[in-house]
Chain A
Amino acid sequence: MKKYDYLLLRFGEVTLKGRNRARFEKAAVEHVRALMRPYPDAKIRREFGRIYVDPGSEPVETLIPILQNVFGMTSLSPVRAVQPELDEIIRAAGELIEDMELDRETTFKTNVRRVWKDFPYSSQESNPLVATPLLKRFSLLKVDVRNPELELRVEIRDKAAYVYGEVIPGVGGFPLGTNGKALLLLSGGIDSPVAGWSALRRGLELECIHFHSYPFTSEKAKEKVIDLAQGLAEYAGKVRLHIVPFTEVQTSFTQMGQDNLMITLMRRAMLRIATKVAEREKALALVTGESLGQVASQTLPSMNVIERATELPILRPLVMTDKDEIIRLSRKIGTYETSILPYEDCCTLFVPKSPTTNPNLRIVNKIEAVTPNLERLIEEAAAGTETIELLAGGARLRREAAEAEAAIKQDWF
């Protein structure tokens, strides 16, 4: 017999009350559905502002770490569903506590809620009826109704009684996409995937844009970025990645004899292209992984000059975050290992020895005005983007396709 019958997902009161409730709930269910796509056995049910996931034949241990990433979810609990009878409830509760393998004194209370009024005992009467035999059986449990470490909850409904104790925290935030859509500038570095994750968590739907300067940057650099976007797709369920052919724009700047402004010019061109793609895809903001002062293009004067290239708001989730913390998050969301692979992206190309940290807007404007065909090259780059759609769990299929192309057979492994 399987140990748990459902996973119960709870959402913050802020997100699930008020006029937005229906929309938020729908977004959350859709997100759960997308994350469960690789597990077709799992069934999803929405009820009273909560989501129940029936794991089917999947072990809950597999699903918990995945469902912990449902944005807007405050916590989840593995739940036992039993016949709404007192004996059954006590037995299930006993098994749950047994599984916790208590090794020290643990404060405890029961919280029984009778929703089905035909159950012979009221909520208040039920509490001692459930708690007493448990206290007798587990000598390490000690009652504390104010601030218990373990709150054993029982919900009695007509078809079943739900019993659960463990409460596993979720990532919080807003349900996916409920705050609109934005376009993430995804480089191959550590920061931008973390910024992307933060944006997703805050209820943004994301598309990603990456600038590729083949042959100055390799196919591997492109694959790396696809892998990073795939990493975000594992959280979002789905992510679209736009890859911009950036070589022409980038090399046009190298002719201008203004090496120390190279990065400023390049970043501004990127924002212009990103703005065009954002408008096309109906995204209302750009998201970057910039962190104040981290590199020459992320000083305040640089940001000031670069940002003027777009009218869209630029969201910088990491702008005040230290590198150590960014790295910690990067490891947590699982993009770190990919991010540190040593393939050059276009931002490290043609980088001067001393890029300016304090660009002069007037001079930048002048150079851009005289760079041959800049407007046309930017148009062409935006129009020439290649778009890849990445789905949660799609990494394997994508790799198998790439391997088939490289004459690698699956049955070799």
Chain B
Amino acid sequence: MLNFDHAASTPTAPDVIRTMAEVMEAHSGNPSSIHRGGEAASKLLERSREVCAAAIGGVKPGELVFTSGATESNNLAVKGMMLGRNDGKKHIVTTAIEHASVYESCRQLEQLGFEVTYVRPEADGIVSFHTVLAAVREDTALVSVMHVNNETGAVQPIAEIGRQLKRLHPRVRFHVDGVQGFAQLSLDLNEAGIDLYSLSAHKIRGPRGVGILYVREGVRLFPLFSGGGQESGIRAGTENVAAIVGAAKAFRLAAEGRTERAGKMNALREMVVAEVNRHAGLRLTEPKQSSPHIIHFTFSGLKSQVILHTLEELGVQVSAQSACSAKTEKPSRVLSAMGREHEEAISGIRISLGDEHGQSEVRQLVKVIGSAVDRLAPLEGRKR
């Protein structure tokens, strides 16, 4: 079975697994303890923070909070920014295509009386920075826009939004969900005026269960977990030291290999794109700018699940929508927001590339797509 679902999760790098096993074996201290065992664990934690800060670039170690994953990072960024405010600001600008952890956090805040504007993307899945900025109001406290859409791979104009935001509304905070695309695209957090930035380790060959939230110095958040004051009091709970060390290594490797990886994946992506374009029934989703690791298409009229299972029978794992919403049979929120009809919005397929993919794997994938379309095209025709 070939796995082409790396946007959902990536195989942990062997070096990361070895590191974590060694750390777990040698260190069982709690970083908050003040005896030697605790201090060793604390050293590991702080060193990891430095390595992650260097991998992100232009940020200080003290600005990073380790979390249990990007879902927590996004929850903390969005809710932490809005809860406990006393300046009366109650408005968020986000997009209709955010990951569920941002989107549902906003929905929850709406129940508490906050107001949210969900900016719709253009037809190609990219939001216009004009539209985002136009949605900012007097009482806007937060703008949250993802870097790369997890379903379509569409790269959002983060730098433009951030720059204009800082120029026109310097008091509004800017959160970016950077989970997808960290391993492929570089992003200068300072230049893009980003105040909060979420990352996940398991998307870049690190362990599951570790996320990062970058919190720019001076930005205050209302903690969602209370307790022993870990992570500068922003996120209580004993840190998962071994996994954090492994994650630090994974972030470093991801950042170091970025340019080479992007080049390689772009070439592979072209091969898949060519195959998708060969079939009249498949409609390639073509954002003006796409992350090298995601190819998305629709097969109008057929439910994603049917396509997905056919591909699986033929030996290839891909994904419908995002992993986090794959089990619902509802049309994709992202595709609907892009203005796609119901028939199309239920039929999205995402193929995502990883480090272990080369020409031969992609050639096999291309062949499987061809066979699947041959099998499914007649069914699709009959249904119409």
Contact = CB atoms under 8 A, between A and B. Distances in A.
B47 A218 contact: no
Given A407-B26, A408-B44, A408-B47, A413 B252 contact: yes
A399 to B, nearest CB: 8
A407 B40 contact: yes
Given A337-B62, A403-B47, A407-B40, A412 B249 contact: yes
A159 B27 CA distance: 61
Contacts of A403: 43, 47
Contact of B22 (A218, A406, A409): A409
A413 B40 contact: no
B337 interface: no
A218, A402, A413 interface centre (most CB from chain B within 10 Å): A413
A225 to B, nearest CB: 16
B47 A406 contact: no
Contact of A413 (B26, B34, B248): B248
Contacts, number: 36
A14 B252 CA distance: 49
A46 interface: no
B23 interface: yes
B154 interface: no
A407 B48 CA distance: 15
A17 to B, nearest CB: 43
Contacts of A219: 39
A117 interface: no
B19 interface: yes
A282 interface: no
Contact of A412 (B34, B62, B245): B245
A413 B48 contact: yes
Contact of B47 (A337, A407, A411, A413): A413
B39 A406 contact: yes
Interface string A333-360: 0000100000000000000000000000
Contacts of B39: 219-220, 406
Interface string B26-49: 110000001010011001100110
A10 to B, nearest CB: 31
A113 B307 CA distance: 77
Nearest to B60: A337
B183 interface: no
Contacts of A406: 36, 39-40, 43
B238 to A, nearest CB: 18
A412 B36 contact: no
Nearest to A406: B40
B51 interface: yes
Nearest to A218: B34
A75 to B, nearest CB: 27
B234 to A, nearest CB: 16
Contact of B51 (A218, A337, A411, A413): A413
Contacts of A407: 26-27, 40
A408 B40 contact: yes
A339 B248 CA distance: 26
A23 to B, nearest CB: 40
Contacts of A220: 34, 39
A120 to B, nearest CB: 48
A314 B224 CA distance: 50
A402 B48 CA distance: 15
A218, A219, A408, A411 interface centre (most CB from chain B within 10 Å): A408
Interface string B112-131: 00000000000000000000
B249 A413 contact: yes
A51 to B, nearest CB: 31
A413 B27 contact: no
A412 B241 CA distance: 12
A218, A337, A409, A412 interface centre (most CB from chain B within 10 Å): A412
Interface in A362-413: 402-403, 406-409, 411-413
Interface in B233-259: 245, 248-249, 252
Contacts of A413: 47-48, 51, 245, 248-249, 252
Given A337-B62, A407-B26, A402 B249 contact: no
B56 to A, nearest CB: 15
Contacts of A402: 43
A412 B23 contact: yes
A256 to B, nearest CB: 30
Contacts of A409: 22
Given A220-B39, A407-B27, 14 more contacts: A218-B34, A219-B39, A337-B60, A402-B43, A406-B36, A406-B39, A407-B26, A407-B40, A408-B47, A409-B22, A412-B22, A412-B245, A413-B249, A413-B252
26 contacts: A218-B34, A337-B60, A337-B62, A403-B43, A403-B47, A406-B36, A406-B39, A406-B43, A407-B26, A407-B27, A408-B27, A408-B43, A408-B44, A408-B47, A409-B22, A412-B19, A412-B22, A412-B23, A412-B245, A412-B249, A413-B47, A413-B51, A413-B245, A413-B248, A413-B249, A413-B252
Counting from the closest, the 8 A-B pairs by CB-CB distance are A406-B40, A412-B19, A413-B51, A407-B26, A412-B245, A406-B43, A413-B249, A413-B248
